[in-house]
Amino acid sequence: VQLVESGGGLVQPGGSLRLSCAASGFTFSTYAMGWFRQAPGKERVLVAAISWNGGNIYYGGTAKGRATISRDNAKNTLYLQMNSLKPEDTAVYYCAASNRVVVTTNQYQYNYWGQGTQVTVSS
């Protein structure tokens, strides 16, 4: 099983990023997926989660209104579009897969995790 995030980097405040997560080694289309982030010295928190077919989506409070999660089951890829980025969005962003049918906000209900991609928002 592999989850490989990409698209992170340095961006100025107010800018945008699109993160991608390429999945392999499991049946991506049957898993709920989530994006989490962890800032230095802080706990890992959920940014957004999406059900297996994209029919149900949840956004965490930190990114609500500025983030869009999506998936392409034909490409086994998860996306996170982040707009109006702020310095407090600086963190390592992780994608994760959950074999639960419904969207879950509980990180302990995610079975697989990527290595993370660094997002730094700074001028």
Look at residue 63 in the predicted model and tell me its pLDDT: 79
Look at residue 19 in the predicted model and tell me its pLDDT: 98
DSSP secondary-structure letter at 88? Answer: G
pLDDT along the chain (123 residues), means of 10: 97 97 97 96 96 94 89 98 96 96 90 98 96
What CA–CA distance (Å, rounded) separates 43 from 21? 21
What CA–CA distance (Å, rounded) separates 77 from 114? 12
Look at residue 62 in the predicted model and tell me its pLDDT: 78
